[in-house]
Amino acid sequence: MAKKILLVEDEELIYSLLEKKLTQAGYEVTVATNGEEGLKKIKEVSPDLILLDIIMPQKDGFSVMEEIRKDKELQRIPIIVISNSGQPVELNRAKELGAKDWIIKTDFDPQEIIEKVKKYLNE
């Protein structure tokens, strides 16, 4: 059975590219385009991994991670942050909130994301 990935990202170019690459790699991908929708889909889909943007409408990635931390069942899901920023203060906050890794949008390679996904899904 394919592993499920929830991609919470509001930039269409990014989520379209990642959805295509992850689907080609054999994953079942669900997209949410804002934090509120992301939290709803986490409960619906029960993903094996979450790719999470930080700056989004309605609820940002940090708020999403804060909600996830409150739920023992959801805490087990690895989170990889995808963001335009690589500021140490943001990286530290994401790690404190449970993020396993960080990818900078401006210089990522889709293959790098596939490798990180495999790493955190123990494949």
Q: What ranges in 6-121 are assigned the alpha helix state H?
A: 12-24, 35-45, 61-69, 72-75, 88-96, 110-120
Q: Which residues pair with 23 in a beta bridge?
A: none
In whole angstroms, give the CA distance from residue 31 to residue 18. 10
pLDDT in tens, 83-92: 887 788 898 9
User: pLDDT value at position 123?
Assistant: 85
pLDDT in tens, 15-62: 999 999 999 999 999 999 999 999 999 999 999 999 999 999 889 999
Q: What pTM does this model have?
A: 0.95
Provide mean pLDDT across the span 3-25: 96
What average pLDDT does the chain have?
Answer: 94
Q: Specify the CATH number of the domain 4-120.
A: 3.40.50.2300
